Structure 1
Amino acid sequence: MGEKSLDVRDFSDVTDYYTPVDNVFVRAHLGVPDLEPAAELADFDWTLSVEGLVENPFTISLADVLALPTRKFTAVHECFGNPFVPDVPTRAVANLEWTGTPLVPLLERAKPLASARHVWLEGADTGSFDGVDGLSYLKDLPLQAAMDDVFLAHRMNGEPLTVRHGYPLRAVVPRMFGTNSVKWLTRIIVSDERPDHMFTTRFYTRVFPGETVSVPVREIDVSSKILSPQDGDQLPGGKLELIGRAWSTTEVVLVEVGVDDGPWEPVVDLEPAGVDPAWQPFTVTRELTPGEHTVRIRATDRAGRIQPPPGLRNSIHEITVTVPAVP
């Protein structure tokens, strides 16, 4: 492995609609594989196997994957958070254009058996984690979800994937947390059961408020984030010009801003959701008096979900800014 296990790197937020690749967070629990990209993507020596409970198991080359019909879409990409402290907000999020091909034609070619219920996605990253050796990174989805949602991406923002982001091929599962979007994808296994694995049943599960049963971490929560200003910034002139983003599994219909102990006020400049599962930009302008101020933001989606108070991973986002006193 080329990099330290549980590689966690976050980068300064930018206000671009598409997050520059160099600003996209990196997560690699088993380290980043040592891969040397080929001059031409199609020349890279790599294969993807589709196996398990299927009539026609097969292995496909990268050149053959690249020859499949391609499409592009934009999707928000969010880290669920540290698996050891899942309720601590990380707010590691990006908005990216993906290029690739849906998984479903490969599954249809393989012809899952009648007993098939789940699809396992396995990456090339292997190693040790939390005292367990010999692991590979593995996630699973219900068969129908895999057929409907999984996308095999080989480009990010129009360029071939970087090694740290899954070169040469990765899964992308829109509207689900990034933990399900397996990087360095090498195997697709069709099964009649879920795998009992470090990253499927031990970590990346949660119990929703008011519930008692633990479920896999999949669909993203309703969230919003202030990208500018940054926490601790000074605002010369007393003018707050806030730029933020909101996202969910469905359209965000309301974003509210609160300053200090004041009431929540709706944000007027919230862009509506488009066809793609991308984030929704919003802006806020306020005049602030000299001194320190707390600025809070929260989102509500079409399903009626509202960002909660502190204590949960998607709690309301707040920053502290200062307006210098007038000389």
Structure 2
Amino acid sequence: MSPQVPAPEPDFTPTDDVFVRKHLGVPDIDVADWALVVEGLVEHPLRLDMAAVLSLGTQRLAAFHECFGSPFAPDVPTRAVAQVEWAGVPLAAVLDRAVPGAGARHVWFEGADTGSFQGQDGVTYVKDLPLSVARGDVFLAHRMNGEPLRPEHGFPLRAVVPRMFGTNSVKWLTRVVLADRRPEGLFTTRLYNRVLPGESSPGPVREVDVSSKLFVPEEGAQLPSGEVELSGRAWSTTEVVSVEVSVDGGPWETAAVAPPGAGPTWQRFSLVRELAAGRHSIRCRARDLAGRVQPLAGARNAVHEVGVEVGGDGLKRRPG
């Protein structure tokens, strides 16, 4: 077990710095004309405008948010990750009003984004989850970091699925369908599937991998020689129990790791290290409570590495 540092308040990524992904463009939605439809195997189909959504109350969810990357290159690291404070309502509050039928096993999430993708026309972005998972984990967000959702982040309402890759957090949400089966579609059964270690057949891309990323210093940073704080963030589906840092391919050194927060948030790690003048490479790897460790190479969550230049010129360092 690595040494721990006190758990800070959740550090949120400025909205301007949160990554944006869109397969079918950003739809132009007038909230006055928008509604969330809940239908399928439910006893009480719903049509909720924004006033009805807001009447359910507003809760907050602090959570890390990670992009899986290209579905055509599932083993290539993207390292696109952020931490966001969402405001909205758990999907369970909506499902309780709709009352799922006895045969409902899956929940389909449909966005307003439609268009052409990979030579296929008339595509709508649809994802799905087992009902048991959707009822417990899915959050319907209408605010992000204290402000209304921006169009590129899913205005006026989006799904947020903690501890799962961002591809499952459908933006511009317009329709929730309860069904007895998974939907056949481009983004459900054709793309965003992978074979996990120890398994023989592909399954949908859902739960995140154990991962970590160096935030300070950044790639190409110029630093003064002497003691430098190496810091970053680590995350997984469960608690990250240790993070190690290696300089120039040397032995792995144990970093201090903040304990997990109250929700699905990332954990800060840091290590103070003496760096001599010259070029250095710095790597980090995390281990989680389930025993998973970041691989050195060949996977989308392979260890992160940055290169820095250290000199004796007193160049300014940024705090971690």
Please, what TM-score do these two structures have when normalized by structure 2?
A: 0.92
How many equivalent pairs are there? 305
Amino acid of the structure 2 residue aligned with 1:319: V
Cross-structure match for 1:146: 134
Amino acid of the structure 1 residue aligned with 2:272: T
Is 1:317 equivalent to 2:304 in the alignment? Answer: yes
Cross-structure match for 1:257: 245
Cross-structure match for 2:285: 298
Q: Is the 8 A contact 2:141 2:159 kept in 1?
A: yes
* TM-aligned CA deviation for residue 256 of structure 1: 0.4
Between the aligned partners of 1:129 and 1:176, the Cα distance in structure 2 is: 23
Cross-structure match for 2:275: 288
Between the aligned partners of 2:299 and 2:152, the Cα distance in structure 1 is: 29
Runs of 4+ in structure 1 deviating by more than 4 angstroms, as ranges, are: none
Where in structure 1 are there 5+ consecutive unaligned residues?
1-15, 37-42
Any idea what the Cα deviations from partners look like across 1:109-168, whole Å, max 9, x if unmatched? 212221111000000000010111001110000011111111100011111100000011
Q: Is the 8 A contact 1:290 1:326 kept in 2?
A: no
Is 1:166 equivalent to 2:154 in the alignment? Answer: yes
Cross-structure match for 2:25: 31
Q: Is the 8 A contact 1:45 1:62 kept in 2?
A: no
Counterparts in 2 of 1:1-327, with a 5 A limit? 17-35=11-29, 44-268=32-256, 270-324=257-311
Q: Is the 8 A contact 1:54 1:111 kept in 2?
A: yes
Q: Name the % identity.
A: 62
Amino acid of the structure 1 residue aligned with 2:280: H
Between the aligned partners of 1:113 and 1:190, the Cα distance in structure 2 is: 8
* TM-aligned CA deviation for residue 326 of structure 1: 7.1
Secondary structure of residue in 1 paired with 2:225: helix
The higher-RCO structure (CA 8 Å, 6+ apart) is: 2
Amino acid of the structure 2 residue aligned with 1:249: T
* TM-aligned CA deviation for residue 242 of structure 1: 1.7
* TM-aligned CA deviation for residue 325 of structure 1: 6.2
Pairwise CA RMSD: 1.5
* TM-aligned CA deviation for residue 68 of structure 1: 0.7
* TM-aligned CA deviation for residue 240 of structure 1: 2.6
Please, what TM-score do these two structures have when normalized by structure 1?
A: 0.90
Between the aligned partners of 2:48 and 2:81, the Cα distance in structure 1 is: 32
Secondary structure of residue in 1 paired with 2:262: coil
Amino acid of the structure 1 residue aligned with 2:279: E
* TM-aligned CA deviation for residue 280 of structure 1: 0.6
Between the aligned partners of 1:169 and 1:123, the Cα distance in structure 2 is: 10
Where in structure 2 are there 5+ consecutive unaligned residues?
1-9, 315-320
Amino acid of the structure 1 residue aligned with 2:180: D
